[in-house]
Each structure stands twice: as C-alpha cells, then as structure tokens.
Amino acid sequence: MGNEAKLFLNKEVAEIVGITKRQVLSWTEKGLVVPAKESPGVGTKRGYNYINLLEFGLCKSLFEIGLGFRAVKKFLEDLRNDGTIKDWANNWRNYYKQLIKDVKKHWTKKFKDETPREMERRIGEMSAFLETYEPQKPEGVIAYFAGSASKTWIIPLAVAYALDLNVLKEGLSGSDSCLLINLGKIRENIDEKL
C-alpha cells in the first residue's frame, strides 16, 4: 500500500476516518490510540501511522455500537499488545496463509481421537476451501471472545465465510460474550480516502 511509513496529523486523521479533530485528540489523550510519533513538546505535532488510522476506525465503530470507554480501551489494548492488528495490516496475505496453518493444527488436535481416515477427510475439506479461496482485497473480521480466556483474533475472510467457520462457532459457545467487527470494511473506507 505504501502508507505504512507515512505519518498523518490530527486534521488528516479526522478527515480520513470521518471523525472530529476533538475525537482524535480525546481518544489519544485517553490512551485508546497510541500515536506512532508522540509530540515531544509544545509546538511539535503527533504523527499517526496507518495502523493508528485502523485503530481510530475501530474506535469509531465500537462507540457507534454503544460500547463504553473501558471496553473499547481493553479491546484496542488487546489488539495492540498481541500484535494482531499490526500483523494483519502490514501483510494480510501472509496473515491469511498463517490462518491455514493454524486451522490445520487446531483440527488435527480436535479430531485426534478419530480414525486417521476420518481426520484426514475433515482437515482436507477445510484445507481445500482455505487453499483455493483467494482474497482479492484485505478481508478481516475481528472476533473478540470475552470470558475466562479472553482472545482476540482476525479471521482474514469475508464476513459470510467467517461466520461459517466451526472455530468461530466454538469460540462463541465457549465464551461469556463475543464481538465481531468487519475490519476489512473499516480498512476499505480508510483506503478510499488515502
């Protein structure tokens, strides 16, 4: 994309994401978004990178659906701390390839008690889909599972495909609550403005 290294000022962020300059400042001051380049003193400006744009887009979406400040902050901190959003934003194609490996590993563990032939059939079906599905644009659904084992991950598929994944259904049934956000759409809206 070429925008990963570029830094954006408050006014640019507001225009690109579709929020006010006051929201940019407020969300930064409250620690929801950590700028790529902090302002070292009076008269210097903060700089926000492409990942920060995605974070602002997420803030906007999360507040629009009614989440409170603490929930939004925790959500963004989890994404930032485990590197999920950065990995996906920097190279979504490799993120997709890693998903294929992770799904195979998960299914191998899950069906280890089945006959080798049955396990191979199950893994083969999922692998066939994943290896032939070729996303043409950055697809991504953030799945945030809250509960005793909170987990955040990005499913690099179109929403319709992501909702059919058994891994997602298992996560839903094993968590206290779940939040799904179409990060691909947020990215698409940002990319249109760049």
What's the confidence (pLDDT) of residue 1?
46
Taking residue 57's Cβ as centre, other Cβ atoms within 10 Å add up to 22
Mean pLDDT by runs of 10 across the 194 residues of the chain is 76 98 96 89 83 97 95 90 86 77 70 71 65 77 76 78 74 80 95 95
Question: Which domains does the chain possess?
Answer: 10-70 (1.10.1660.10), 86-188 (no CATH)
List all residues 6 or more positions away from 179 whose beta carbon is below 8 Å from its beta carbon.
67, 75, 142, 143, 144, 146
What predicted TM-score, i.e. pTM, was given to this entire model? 0.81
In whole angstroms, give the CA distance from residue 10 to residue 46.
8
In whole angstroms, give the CA distance from residue 141 to residue 57.
14
What's the confidence (pLDDT) of residue 8?
97
β-strands 151-155, 177-182: how paired?
A: unpaired
In whole angstroms, give the CA distance from residue 59 to residue 69.
9
Q: Give the CA count within 13 Å in the CB-facing half-sphere of 44.
A: 7
